[in-house]
Structure 1
């Protein structure tokens, strides 16, 4: 059975995109047309006047190098000024900088502090990241139940990454009673928003009949959607289904039951493997899938997968 992708939590920085009257509207209009010099000039003037939206926007500009020389330290300075005024996006952004040690000494405890302040204002991205901190025990005592609580708050706002994460928690029974049906529900909501990891995981559920009627065609459709976005695990899952179908078709024509290998004492075969999942081919055209276990090589101090025997 294919494994589900593990949960993920975003670290992207955010800047407001809501249109407002006045300097804020003018700054965002300048950004939209690619006039970053004007955006910078307007934001700097407003930030000096203590306007939190402008301080946060300056932080994003310095973090990304948009219209200014890139500087994480300057980004942190402006995020902090806005965050201390209670600006939820700036609190979230400052948490990201602490979590990643960008422009400031890395501190999971400080990341949790700022994520929590933003999350308590209902900011979905902060709720999702705070869930990740609890799930991984970063800067706070590990608690799957708390992780689920924060993921759910963000997921119920329609935030795709949190919906995906909540689906993983239900699929694994982490912090909540295990429920494949609930996992499917949340994976589906995220997948419908185009989340590639959710599309892959929903495909796994369909392929294995977990929480939903088994449907290999639907699994392939979802794997294709995720693979088109560059999701490597979905590409691998799609390739395995394709190979398995080819093997099954060939072997069904062999009229030799489940074992189509040549009936000879000197078997000759060759194999292609990926992480112990091997496709073994024989002289008579028979193809069989074999799983091999890794072995420890004391000479190289590494685990390796041996070639399967014929």
Structure 2
């Protein structure tokens, strides 16, 4: 009996050893069946250790699909970040807000690279990212300078460049891993949103936080006005089964649930239930934080804030900077539980 047991143990050990020799202990491919779950676990472990490594400047190159040229342009991440900050944030914002934007943009760009656990997207046309809002808006120095007053253009570019240069190599990490979703947006209605309420995905560092003082932003409040017939027609085209009527529209549209940040989570349209995000998309609203007023002649949708509301509010970041907060304080406010670290880059 002992000989039989010993024989079985030897066979199992040999089989396991053979499997290791065939597959290998490999840092490029995940082991086992290539299921989505296995791949996600591999990418998670990869991103966990990546910040401890040393990098050359070439390791931090990113490929950007330039839509107007329909070509892929390869550049260092720092050049890319300058173009993103140029395209995403007003240059007259406080330097600390620009630094916060630079780190969020750098983190986002690196998180799209496969070496950092990112995955290629079809929307990037073979590159890592494109230069539109599908990823981050990117503008070259020449394109950006053309849009600024000529007498201030070089001064503005120098200010922007300083914000990037002074934070070179700095990224956001959470639980010793690169932050993979450093989302940001233009303007909040006074409070940001939980990621789970907007994207149906719970992200520990994307939680609802207060963001006061943004009422000076140009799109802090916006109003969209429709006649009863116009709004009925728009919604019936998307949801014909709802059978909305202009005469009874006021009774047929009802906001049912809001998020902690104030955005509409659920709204009823006739017999159809949809998210506030979907309602926003259909009407092209500036945010999902809205109210609906039914007057005698028109229906007014009043929006608070501009954007999806998750992560860092850019106007809120500027408010904090003008109050004396530095870029790390700003980032740690909007991305809960994160740290700001500098990657180990070889000269």
Q: TM-score, normalised by structure 1?
A: 0.22
Higher strand share: 2
Q: TM-score, normalised by structure 2?
A: 0.21
Return the structure number with greater relative CO, CA threshold 8 A, min gap 6. Answer: 2
